[in-house]
Amino acid sequence: MPALVSYLAAELRRRWRAVRDTKDGGYSTEAVLVTALLVTLAIVVIAIIALKVTSKANSINLG
Handedness of CA 37, 40, 46, 48 (dihedral sign): negative
Q: Is residue 63 part of a domain?
A: no
For residues 26 and 19, the answer to whether their CB atoms sit within 8 Å is: yes
Determine the structural domain holding residue 52 and report its residue range: 2-58
**How confident is the model at residue 57, as a pLDDT?**
95
Q: Is residue 14 part of a domain?
A: yes
Total domains in the chain come to 1
**How confident is the model at residue 42, as a pLDDT?**
96
Cβ neighbors of 25 (< 8 A, separation 6 or more) are 19
Question: Going residue by residue through the chain (63 aa), what tens digit of pLDDT does each one get?
Answer: 788 888 888 888 998 888 777 776 567 788 889 999 999 999 999 999 999 999 999 999 987
**How confident is the model at residue 38, as a pLDDT?**
96
Q: Is residue 32 part of a domain?
A: yes
Q: Is residue 51 part of a domain?
A: yes
**How confident is the model at residue 26, as a pLDDT?**
65
Q: Is residue 35 part of a domain?
A: yes
Q: Is residue 38 part of a domain?
A: yes
Q: Please report, as a single letter, which amino acid is at residue 23.
A: K
Q: Is residue 52 part of a domain?
A: yes
